[in-house]
C-alpha cells in the first residue's frame, strides 16, 4: 500500500502535531508489512529538524520544496495535479493539519486531534477558532475516514461535527520517544522539584495549580515548582497570581525548553503536575510517566482514557481536590513510588509502533470503504 502523508508540520514544528507526525512516520517504517511512504514537505518555512533526526529510511521518500503553502492550491490547479501527484502518486493521502492540500486521485483520510477550538476557553481568538473549525470541517468533508488520537476525541468529533461514529477510527499516540537515547542527563534543576510542561494559557489551569502548590507547601512539601512553557492566551492571570503568592520564590519559570534538555528536566522531577481543563490527548504527562515520574493530571478531556490508573485524576476545577492530590504525591513517598510504577506500566502500553499499526488499519478500512481490495 502506497501512502502519502502531509509532512509539513513534522519539519517545522517540534511539538504537538509535528511531534506526532514525525514519530508516526518513524514507527511506520518498522512495523510488519509497512506501507510505502511518500511525504509531502512543501513549505516556505525553514526546517527546524535535521534530516538525520527524522529517521527516514531508504524506502521512504520525502518531497521537499521551499514553496509557500498558500500557493499550493493555485499551483496544483494550474498544473492539473494534486499533492498526491507531486509526491509520485499514492493510493491513500493522509491529511495531518487544517491547511488541507488538494488531492486528485488518492483516497483521502485525515486525523483530527481535538475539537477544543469549538468550546469556550480554548485560548483562541474568535477569528482563529473560526479558521481552525473551517479547516477541520474541510478535512472531514473530504476524508473517506477520520482518525482520532483517543476515543474521547472520536466521540467529540461525532457530536461536534455531526460525523457518523462508524467513520472514525482511533489510534492512541505513543510516548516511547522519550526513552530513545539511553539514560537522561542530570537535571539542570537542583533539589526536589515538581514540574509542569505546557503553554501558559487559561485552558492549562496554572492559577489553580499554583493554589494547590501553595497548599502542598503549607503541608510541608520541600519542593520547588518548575513551570516550563511559553506564554499563551490568558497568561496574565497566572503571572498576576504568582506575583503576590507566598510561594513565588519557590516557582521557577522557564520558557520553551529544547528537546535535548527536556528529558533531563522530566527525569529529575519528583512529580509532574498537569491539571488541564481540556485535552485531546495530553502527551506531557504520559512522557513524564514513561520516565518514572509520578503524575497528577486531571479528570478532564481525554486524560482519564490516556493515563488510566497511571496518574491521579482530580477534578481540575476543584482547588481542594487538586490540593489534596498535589500534597499527597509531594509528601507521601510510598504512595508516589507506587503511582510512578503504575504510570510507567501505563506508558509502556502506548507505543508509536502500536499507533502505527492502528493507523495502517485505518488506511486499509478507507480502501475497503472505497471499494478497493
Which pLDDT tens digit goes with each residue over 211-220? Answer: 999 999 999 9
**What value does the mean pLDDT take over residues 342-363?**
98
Report d(CA 251, CA 193) in Å as an integer. 9
**What value does the mean pLDDT take over residues 14-30?**
94
> What are the start-end ranges of the H helices in 244-351?
259-267, 283-290, 303-307, 319-331, 333-349
Read off the C-alpha cell for 101. 492540500
Tell me the pLDDT tens digit for each residue of 170-182. 999 999 999 998 8
Report d(CA 338, CA 345) in Å as an integer. 11
Q: What is the pLDDT of residue 274?
A: 98
Task: State the CB neighbour count (10 A cutoff) for residue 211.
Answer: 16
Q: What is the pLDDT of residue 14?
A: 84
Burial level of 301, CB count in 10 A (0-12/13-18/19+)? Answer: buried
Which residues on adjacent β-strands are paired with residue 93? 4, 108
Give yes or no for residue 205 having a pLDDT over 80: yes
Percent pLDDT > 70 in the chain is 100
Task: Give the CB-side neighbour count of residue 283, counting CA atoms within 13 A.
Answer: 20
Give yes or no for residue 121 having a pLDDT over 80: no
Report d(CA 297, CA 339) in Å as an integer. 12
Q: Could you tell me if 310 and 346 are in contact, meaning their C-beta atoms sit under 8 angstroms apart? A: yes
Q: What is the pLDDT of residue 16?
A: 87
Mean pLDDT of the chain: 95
Tell me the pLDDT tens digit for each residue of 294-324. 999 999 999 999 999 999 999 999 999 999 9
Give the chain's domains with CATH numbers. Answer: 2-173+352-369 (3.40.50.2000), 178-349 (3.40.50.2000)
Give yes or no for residue 124 having a pLDDT over 90: no
Ramachandran angles phi, psi of 87, nearest 5°: -100, 10
Read off the C-alpha cell for 140. 472531514
Q: What is the pLDDT of residue 123?
A: 75
The alpha-carbon radius of gyration of the chain (Å, integer) is 21
Which residues on adjacent β-strands are paired with residue 251? 225
What confidence tier does 11 reach under pLDDT thresholds 50, 70, 90? very high
Give yes or no for residue 86 having a pLDDT over 80: yes
Q: What is the pLDDT of residue 181?
A: 83
Q: What is the pLDDT of residue 145?
A: 98
Q: Could you tell me if 102 and 72 are in contact, meaning their C-beta atoms sit under 8 angstroms apart? A: yes
Give yes or no for residue 373 having a pLDDT over 80: no
Q: What is the pLDDT of residue 120?
A: 85
Q: What is the pLDDT of residue 89?
A: 97
**What value does the mean pLDDT take over residues 6-12?**
97
**What value does the mean pLDDT take over residues 41-59?**
92
Read off the C-alpha cell for 304. 482519564
Residues, the chain: 373
Percent pLDDT > 90 in the chain is 88
Report d(CA 216, CA 340) in Å as an integer. 19
Q: What is the pLDDT of residue 150?
A: 98
What confidence tier does 260 reach under pLDDT thresholds 50, 70, 90? confident
Write out the E strands in the chain. 2-6, 36-42, 61-65, 92-95, 107-111, 145-148, 168-170, 193-197, 224-228, 251-254, 271-273, 295-296
Report d(CA 262, CA 266) in Å as an integer. 6
Q: What is the pLDDT of residue 122?
A: 75
Q: Is 220 left (phi over 0), alpha (psi -120 to 50) or beta?
A: left
Comparing C-alpha atoms, which of 176, 173, 172 is closest to residue 344? 176
Ramachandran angles phi, psi of 67, nearest 5°: -150, 135
**What value does the mean pLDDT take over residues 265-293?**
97
Measured in Å, how far apart are the chain's first and last C-alpha atoms?
11
Burial level of 293, CB count in 10 A (0-12/13-18/19+)? Answer: buried
Give yes or no for residue 198 having a pLDDT over 90: yes
Read off the C-alpha cell for 139. 478535512
Report d(CA 123, CA 136) in Å as an integer. 17
- For helices 352-369 and 16-28, the axis angle rounded to 10 degrees is 80
Tell me the pLDDT tens digit for each residue of 226-245. 999 999 888 999 999 999 99
Which residues on adjacent β-strands are paired with residue 197? 228
Report d(CA 259, CA 283) in Å as an integer. 14
Read off the C-alpha cell for 337. 513510588
**What value does the mean pLDDT take over residues 127-156?**
95
Amino acid at each position: 500500500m502506497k501512502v502519502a502523508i502531509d509532512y509539513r508540520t513534522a519539519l517545522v514544528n517540534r511539538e504537538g502535531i509535528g511531534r506526532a507526525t514525525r514519530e508516526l512516520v518513524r514507527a511506520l517504517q518498522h512495523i510488519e508489512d509497512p506501507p510505502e511512504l511518500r511525504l509531502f514537505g512543501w513549505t516556505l518555512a525553514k526546517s527546524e529538524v535535521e534530516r538525520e533526526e527524522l529517521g527516514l529510511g531508504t524506502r521512504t521518500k520525502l518531497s521537499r520544496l521551499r514553496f509557500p503553502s498558500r500557493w499550493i492550491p493555485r499551483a496544483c490547479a494550474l498544473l492539473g495535479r494534486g499533492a498526491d501527484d507531486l509526491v509520485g502518486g499514492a493510493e491513500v493521502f493522509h491529511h495531518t493539519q487544517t491547511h488541507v492540500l488538494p488531492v486528485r486521485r488518492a483516497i483521502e483520510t485525515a486525523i483530527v486531534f481535538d475539537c477544543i477550538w469549538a468550546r469556550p476557553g480554548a485560548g483562541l481568538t474568535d477569528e482563529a477558532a473560526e479558521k481552525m473549525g473551517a479547516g477541520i470541517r474541510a478535512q472531514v468533508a473530504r476524508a473517506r475516514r477520520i482518525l482520532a488520537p483517543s476515543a474521547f476525541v472520536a466521540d467529540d468529533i461525532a457530536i461536534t461535527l455531526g460525523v457518523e461514529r462508524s467513520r472514525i477510527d482511533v489510534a492512541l499516540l505513543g510516548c516511547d520517544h522519550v526513552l530513545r537515547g539511553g539514560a537522561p542527563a542530570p537535571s539542570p534543576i537542583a533539589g526536589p522539584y515538581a514540574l509542569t510542561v505546557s503553554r501558559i494559557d487559561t485552558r492549562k489551569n496554572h492559577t489553580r495549580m499554583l493554589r494547590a502548590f501553595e497548599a502542598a507547601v503549607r503541608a510541608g512539601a520541600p519542593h520547588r515548582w518548575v513551570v516550563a512553557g511559553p506564554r499563551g492566551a490568558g497568561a496574565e492571570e497566572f503571572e498576576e497570581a504568582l506575583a503576590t503568592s507566598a510561594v513565588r520564590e519557590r516557582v521557577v519559570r522557564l520558557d520553551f525548553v529544547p528537546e535535548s534538555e527536556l528529558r533531563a528536566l522530566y527525569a529529575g522531577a519528583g512529580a509532574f503536575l498537569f491539571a488541564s481543563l481540556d485535552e485531546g490527548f495530553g502527551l506531557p504527562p504520559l512522557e513524564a510517566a514513561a520516565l518514572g515520574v509520578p503524575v497528577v493530571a486531571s479528570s478532564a478531556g481525554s486524560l482519564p482514557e490516556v493515563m488510566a490508573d497511571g496518574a491521579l485524576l482530580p477534578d481540575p476545577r476543584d482547588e481542594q481536590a487538586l490540593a489534596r492530590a498535589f500534597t499527597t504525591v509531594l509528601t507521601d513517598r510510598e504512595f508516589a513510588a507506587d503511582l510512578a510504577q503504575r504510570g510507567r506500566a501505563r506508558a509502556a502500553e502506548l507505543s508509536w509502533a502500536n499507533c502505527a499499526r492502528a493507523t495502517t488499519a485505518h488506511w486499509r478500512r478507507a480502501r475497503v470503504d472505497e471499494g478497493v481490495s
